[in-house]
Chain A
Amino acid sequence: MSRVFNLLVLVAFGFVFAGLIGAYDERQILSALAIRYLTEVPEGLGAPNVVTGILISFRGFDTLGEVAVLFMVAASVGTLLGGKEKNAAVSAAPANVGRRPPSELVRNGAEVVLPLIFLFGAYVIMNGHLSAGGGFQGGAVVASGVMLYMLAYPRGGINHDVLSITESLAGVVYVTIGILGIVFAGGFLDSAILPRGEFGTFISAGAIPIISALLGIKVGAELSVIIDRFRS
């Protein structure tokens, strides 16, 4: 009975989606807002990557709200899972699960691959304004590298306090740069507080590389803390 019901629901949704796809005409021209962004970001801000320019300067408030959402998620995961951390360390943990040493393959492979992962994460973060990349993407890569580190060296602990302080500092400096935008330039989170520089070089586009780097550090530290909570 429930299988018939599931199938009916799926078929109904399938009809709705097929109607949506069939009636969709591919767009031929850009909207006026998109044309304005596409001309303003390379000329006005000096950033070749239009998507990063939109995320950091024109829609900077959305990014600030997202940083707040990430912080809230780290806090909720910490509340749900971290409450018994001190007791678990004192009482006897189950002898086999989690106290086995990791296998040789994981350790040796991690030694080769970890520097590459961190280097690639740093490259993606720092090149956010020049080519595809940005703070969020690079932060996720760095957090996956930290997860591999946790798997390969289970006793070499990630210092929770250092990570929490790093992420909070990154958030505070991000908001400070926003306030500096009010003081020195057009408005909150305006990237014109630093000079525009030459188009396409590494140090260019105002404060966008710095904001990108801060976002990358904050997202990387945040996701590492969340992943560390799951390892109990």
Chain B
Amino acid sequence: MAELIGSIIILVGAFFLFSAGLGLLRMPDTFTRIQAGTKASTLGNILVLAGLGVYHPDWALKLLIVAYFILMTNPLSSHALSRAAYAIRTPMTPATMYDALRDEQDKAANSGDAP
């Protein structure tokens, strides 16, 4: 029974990973691609690890530590990538409404300290 539940969770995680890849292909510009790739693939990774933890209950603590590590590093690296892409002025898709980082930086430059 635990094997069935574990396998279903792993399949759901695999579906999220597939949708991350699909999002990388179909999104219009760099920033939306980074967002789709990171969020969906982190969730897919954590679900696969949780499914494995249900399937083999005596590995659960080690898998929890690995999942924590993934949660710490994956969003960090994509944040660094998107800041770098913004700094070299990568063009945004025309559907963008407003640019929160530019407003933030202008406000901070007007009041005198760095964002």
Is chain B in direct contact with chain A in the complex (CB below 8 A)? Answer: yes
Work out how many contacts link A and B, with CB atoms closer than 8 A.
Answer: 26
Any A CB within 8 A of the CB of B114: yes
Q: Is the CB of A112 within 8 A of B80?
A: no
Once bound together, how far apart are the Cα atoms of A96 and B87, in whole Å? 8
Instruction: Let me know if A36 is at the binding interface, CB within 8 A.
Output: no
Instruction: State the Cβ distance, A40 to closest chain B Cβ, in Å.
Output: 32
Please indicate the chain B residues that have their CB under 8 angstroms from the CB of A101 in the complex: 114
Is the pair A97, B76 in contact by a Cβ cutoff of 8 Å?
no
Q: What chain A residues lie within 8 Å of B114 (beta carbons)?
A: 101
- Cβ–Cβ contact B88 & A109, under 8 A: no
Task: Contact check, A113 vs B76: say whether CB atoms are below 8 A apart.
Answer: yes
Interface of A is mostly: helix
In the complex, the answer to whether B88 meets A151 with C-beta atoms within 8 Å is no
A106-B76, A151-B80 known; A100 and B69 CB under 8 Å?
A: no
Given the known inter-chain contacts A96-B87, A100-B87, please indicate yes or no for A112 contacting B79, CB distance below 8 A: no
Contact A105 B87 (CB under 8 A): no
Residues of chain A with a CB closer than 8 A to B80's CB: 102-103, 106, 151
**Interface size bucket, B side?**
10 to 19
Q: Is the CB of A109 within 8 A of B72?
A: yes
Mark out the residues of chain A between 90 and 147 whose CB falls within 8 Å of any chain B CB in the assembled complex: 96-97, 100-103, 105-106, 109-110, 112-113, 116
Complex Cα distance, B11 from A150, in Å, reads 38
State the CA gap A151–B76 with chains docked (Å): 11
List residues of A (72-106) whose CB comes within 8 Å of B's CBs.
96-97, 100-103, 105-106
- Binary CB contact string for chain B from 37 to 52 against chain A (1 if under 8 A, 0 otherwise): 0000000000000000
Residues of A close to B73: CB separation below 8 A: 109, 113
Instruction: Tell me which of B72, B76, B79, B87 has the highest count of chain A C-beta atoms within 10 A of its own C-beta.
Output: B76
CB pair A97 B88 closer than 8 Å: yes
Which residues does chain A contribute within 8 Å of B83, judged by CB atoms? Answer: 103, 106
Q: Is B69 within 8 A of A116, CB to CB?
A: yes
- Interchain CA distance A54-B87 in the complex, whole Å: 48
Q: Once the chains are docked, how many angstroms separate the CA of A151 from the CA of B79?
A: 12
B111 to nearest A CB, angstroms?
A: 17
**Cα–Cα, bound, A110→B73 (Å):** 9
Q: Which residues of B contact A106 (CB under 8 A)?
A: 76, 79-80, 83
- Can you identify 19 A-B contacts, CB atoms within 8 angstroms? A96-B87, A97-B87, A97-B88, A100-B87, A102-B80, A103-B79, A103-B83, A105-B76, A105-B79, A106-B76, A106-B83, A109-B72, A109-B76, A110-B76, A113-B69, A113-B73, A113-B76, A116-B69, A151-B80
A-B pairs, top 4 by smallest CB distance, nearest first, are A109-B76, A105-B79, A106-B80, A113-B72
Binding site for A on B (CB under 8 A): 69, 72-73, 76, 79-80, 83, 87-88, 114
Residues of chain A touching chain B, judged by Cβ–Cβ distance below 8 Å, are 96-97, 100-103, 105-106, 109-110, 112-113, 116, 151
